[in-house]
Amino acid sequence: MVRRAILSVSDKAGLVPFARRLAARGVELLSTGGTQRALADAGLQVKPVGEFTQAPEILGGRVKTLHPRIHGGILYRRGLAADEADVKARDILPIDLVVVNLYPFREAVAAGKSFAECVEEIDIGGPSMVRAAAKNAAHVAVLVDPADYDRVAGEIEQSGVVGEPTRFYLMRKAFAHTAAYDAAIAEYLSSRGAPTDKPRHFPDVLGVVYEKAQDLRYGENPHQAGAFYRATREPAEPTIAYAEVLQGKELSYNNLLDLEAALACVKEFDETACAVIKHNTPCGVAKGDTPAEAFARARACDPVSAFGGIVALNRPVDAEAAKELTDLFLECVVAPSYTPEGRALLAAKKNLRLLESPRLAEPRESWKRRPEEARELRSVVGGLLVMDRDLGRIRRDECQLMTRRAPTEQEWRDLLFAWKVVKHVKSNAIVFAQGDRTTAIGGGQTSRVESVKTAVMKAALEVRGSSVASDAFFPFKDGVEEIIRAGATAIIQPGGSVRDPEVVAAADAAGLAMVSTGMRHFRH
């Protein structure tokens, strides 16, 4: 029977309605600080922890709940004779429900607060209570997530107790919560040699904690097991990890990889745009006046590869766009939203996975990344490779002219469009573009000239008159000569090869315009 609960939360979402439901069942409420004030201000009868322990808060509130009457009430094993004798002798009352989430340490770090301020946000009493309650989950329920309030309140209202399956579920969640919290602290501290040091870009200890979102049918191939894990906190930018699946078959390992690639590509554009992905690389990218037009133009870039592909759109899918999407067999579509008419049309494709990522509709400026969200992790046997995500963007005025002829206005537009796409193509990457869409894409080859040849060979659209982006410099002039033969008129590339003079001379001889970015976009 839940007779007594202690509530001490930093995140007060849903707190008052939950506490009202507890109080209505006769549960005595204990609380501290701001949580106590919030409950009292809502008209709830709440006993201060200092009154319950008969020991006042000390050290400016640093010590409130670290007391035998609190931890004894949480940890004692009901029915065990020795524990029953101890609590009776010391007048320790049972605490059957612990509702705690922790000081906002990670938020303080993300806000750029001083070292001393961040250290002050390291919770001590909270994790102690959470771990105590989780250890004693055979008798005590522990809540660290407001999302679980309704489930727990419902069980108490129905039977007066929190059932064993729920207590075990909450136990697992509680230890994951404190593990993530401690990992964040360890990472923050290990990024400094001393308190006064500026933080190092990569800490000595990497605090990586993810929770399983789902088991997958298999991994990349049927003989490989697979699972999907995601960060314990939803990022502030559009993400496949937290997109809502609206319909379709269960997502596969390869679907998730391709969806991430599609979403990353379409996030490059502020204008209405579409990316079609196959095998983790773009096969068509285009802008349009409407989502329907953007998809139709992207599909036309390589209709053969688009079959069975993954589509990302950065605008809501309406009926017109849905009609275009249903004309082609696709595996998945991700968009910020779908109109009712669009959903109705797409429902006819029962196996088509539809995902909704509302943040795609939000301005880029609102995507405030936490430090860990700007990292990319790749595994090797026994280790991790960590680097900054490739979020590099180039403006026209940051480019350097390499050839005698400067690009025309249309060429500049096509070059900058191609440059946004090329970083999402496997290296060696080559992208032809004209009129706000790709006209040919080549990548994943072991030489740059072969990527040019592959792009031209596969092209379903006219490449003559296109502008071309290369993710890295041209080591020889042969790649540029193939671009010239294809009829392209301008090139954007990082520059920096020892053979740049030969490459530029070849471009000048053909009347091409070429600019350098000084930024490479390898994607292995």
Instruction: Report the predicted TM-score, pTM, of the whole model to 2 decimal places.
Output: 0.84
DSSP class of residue 314 equals S
Task: Say if 297 falls within a structural domain.
Answer: yes
The catalytic residue among 279, 323, 349, 458 is 279
CA-to-CA distance for 96 and 27, rounded, in angstroms?
Answer: 10
Tell me whether residue 71 is one of the annotated catalytic residues: no
Task: Say if 417 falls within a structural domain.
Answer: yes
Task: Say if 84 falls within a structural domain.
Answer: yes
Q: Are residues 175 and 263 in the same domain?
A: no
Hey, what are 179's tokens?
A: 């593990």
349, 366, 383 - which closes a domain: 366
Q: Are residues 128 and 242 in the same domain?
A: no
Task: Say if 219 falls within a structural domain.
Answer: no
Check: CB of residue 471 under 8 Å from CB of residue 429. yes
Task: Say if 204 falls within a structural domain.
Answer: no
β-partners of residue 383 are 380
For residue 172, give every residue at least 6 positions away whose Cβ sits within 8 Å of its Cβ, in sequence order, or none. none
Q: Are residues 19 and 158 in the same domain?
A: yes
Name which of 346, 373, 354, 372 is nearest 264 in CA terms: 373
Per the structure, how many domains does the chain have? Answer: 3
524 residues of the chain, pLDDT tens digit each: 899 999 999 888 899 999 999 999 999 999 988 898 999 999 999 888 888 878 777 787 777 777 888 888 899 988 889 888 888 888 889 999 999 988 888 888 888 888 899 988 888 888 999 999 999 999 999 999 999 999 999 999 999 999 999 999 999 999 999 998 999 899 999 998 888 888 888 899 888 888 899 999 999 999 999 999 998 888 889 999 999 999 999 999 999 999 999 999 999 999 999 999 999 999 999 999 999 999 999 999 999 999 999 999 999 999 999 999 999 999 999 999 999 999 999 999 999 999 999 999 998 888 888 777 888 999 999 999 999 999 999 999 999 999 999 999 999 999 999 999 999 999 999 999 999 999 999 999 999 999 999 999 999 999 999 999 999 999 999 999 999 999 999 999 999 999 999 999 999 999 999 999 999 999 98
The catalytic residue among 135, 249, 323, 458 is 135
Hey, what are 120's tokens?
A: 């002050």
Q: Are residues 179 and 49 in the same domain?
A: yes
Tell me whether residue 135 is one of the annotated catalytic residues: yes
- What is the bridge-based pairing of β-strands 4-9 and 97-101? parallel
> Which domain, by its residues, includes 44?
4-190
Alpha helices per DSSP H over 111-163: 115-120, 125-135, 149-159
Q: The CATH number of the domain where 435 resides is what? A: 3.40.140.20
For residue 198, give every residue at least 6 positions away whose Cβ sits within 8 Å of its Cβ, in sequence order, or none. 192
Task: Say if 53 falls within a structural domain.
Answer: yes
Q: Are residues 123 and 25 in the same domain?
A: yes
Q: Are residues 22 and 167 in the same domain?
A: yes
Hey, what are 95's tokens?
A: 């605490």
Q: Are residues 156 and 282 in the same domain?
A: no
366, 381, 416 - which closes a domain: 366
CA-to-CA distance for 479 and 455, rounded, in angstroms?
Answer: 12
Q: Are residues 140 and 243 in the same domain?
A: no
Task: Say if 264 falls within a structural domain.
Answer: yes
